[in-house]
Amino acid sequence: MKKGTVKSILMLGIFYFVFLGAEYYFDNMMAFVTDADGVVLAQNYILGSSVLGFLLYAPMEKMLPAKIKQLFWSMSSAAVILMFFFIRIHSGYGHTLRAGLFLFLLLGYFGSGVHYLVAQTFATEIETEKSHLARTVGCAYAFGILLQFINNNCISSVAVQVIFLCLAFAVMEGLFMVKAQQVGAQGETHPLIEADGVARKTGMLLIFIVALMTFIFATLDNAVTLVHAGGGADIGQWPRLLLACSGLLAGFLYDIKKGAYQNIIMYCVMMLSTICVVVITCGGPFILGLVVFYLSAGFFSIYFASSFMRLSYAMKEGKLWAGLGRAVNNLCAVGTASMSLALLHSPSYVTIVIALVLFAITSVLIFVYQRYGDQMRWKQENAILSQEAEKTEKILETHKKSEEELLALFAQEFSLTPREVEVLACMLHSEDNVTEMATRLAISRAALYRHLSNMNEKTNTKARIGLLQFYYAWMQEK
């Protein structure tokens, strides 16, 4: 594990710990100055404030001079400590709420920045098998949950818990400032081609998918919470360790083949959660809902965080998109809280019908999102390959051998069959997608993939773009 990965896990993990710990602490202090409904309402307010903080990071980074930003960062730790103090004394509903709003505005701002800086750590590796973006997010999430568990269960003094949160924020801020200066000196990295119509449509689809999934998981969360609050079962803190494990597992699964299976895995988790909502609504076992909720919540958190961080590489406003997953989730959690509760209090058949309809809509959106994502990646690959082809053409202008002769030499050196040479030539001179190429060559998609797989094996490369990049590099050496 490289040094940058460890720092990213620490920085992002501490953010998760501080954010979740501050929310838990704020709710406990608000309980002294208002009733249960007031606590829920105040929690919605602070989550909304955090969304504003997430959205402010990108424009503030663009508009503020470097010295002003440095001053703002330096003063943030003192401001966070002061807000925790005001929340701790809970002198009244208004004072406590205002302190919470400002605290979560700052946490949202730094949260957006942390997600962007972590994404930049893996920017140059995102199109390779070496990229560990999702597993880094998963490890950070598990680390943050573990810190919160220790803080809530192993430290009895509330004052010491708050001190621990403040110290953790100071450490995160220090890591943030160092990384921000490094990225500022190196310049923002856009490994993929900047946004076009397809990329923006992909981003909007992802926002809608996360919004609908948030409603489904919030409904499952509320179903579990209602049983706990009604005295039907005591959840306690131990299930949170299951949440950490699920986030860790999700990170490793989502990184397989550069995230190729991420959407299908999340689709299966969502289907399981929808079934669980139906089962609980019909009076099914509570323990099933509890286990499924903590498993699915970890997978969902890593899904929306890593998906938006990956998408930021294709967007001109990378600073905004990198942390947008958490902002969308928080905003939708606030907006759908009352609706999900109303759904659970409705007749069981209403809950079942609405849950299944939402699942069906989300399923269609995931399918379309996958197609748009494939189109976006295909265009990006073609743009990258076009740049390399232009370099190669300049070399060929003064080269003694023609391109046909070089292709024949390449085929001879790597033992390509005549049909494989035909497939390679088609990929070199066409920007068609797989279906169009298969039609042009009068073969099936399966046969085309088989020829590509054989060439990948012979050249020790991965996927279409790896093979073509290898070929261009080989041509330049001849």
Answer with the residue of higher pLDDT: 124 or 408.
408
SS3 331: helix
Q: How many Cα neighbours within 13 Å face the side chain of 463?
A: 11
> Could you tell me where the DSSP H helices lie in 282-400?
286-311, 318-321, 324-344, 348-397
SS (H, E, C) 89-101: HCCCHHHHHHHHH
Using the predicted structure, report yes or no on whether residue 9 has a pLDDT greater than 60: yes
Query: pLDDT band at 225, cuts 50/70/90?
Result: low
The per-residue pLDDT for 130 is: 58
The per-residue pLDDT for 84 is: 92
Highest-scoring range by mean pLDDT, 70-74, 172-176, 397-401: 172-176
CA angle 343, 345, 346 (to 5 degrees): 65
Stretch 414-441: mean pLDDT: 82
Answer with the residue of higher pLDDT: 61 or 1.
61
Using the predicted structure, report yes or no on whether residue 452 has a pLDDT greater than 90: no
The per-residue pLDDT for 224 is: 64
pTM as predicted: 0.79
Using the predicted structure, report yes or no on whether residue 125 has a pLDDT greater than 70: no
Query: pLDDT band at 379, cuts 50/70/90?
Result: low
Using the predicted structure, report yes or no on whether residue 387 has a pLDDT greater than 70: no
Stretch 130-157: mean pLDDT: 89
Stretch 247-272: mean pLDDT: 87
Using the predicted structure, report yes or no on whether residue 143 has a pLDDT greater than 90: yes
Q: How many Cα neighbours within 13 Å face the side chain of 310?
A: 27
Which of 331, 351, 222 is closest to 279 using CA atoms? Answer: 351
| Mean pLDDT over each residue of the chain, to the nearest integer | 82
User: What span, in angstroms and rounded, lies between the C-alpha atoms of 179 and 121?
Assistant: 9
Query: pLDDT band at 158, cuts 50/70/90?
Result: confident
Least confident of 124-133, 201-210, 436-445: 124-133
Tokens of 346: 């409705």
Using the predicted structure, report yes or no on whether residue 396 has a pLDDT greater than 80: no
The per-residue pLDDT for 389 is: 60
Stretch 12-19: mean pLDDT: 95
C-alpha distances in Å from residue 132, one per residue of 303, 395, 430: 14, 35, 31
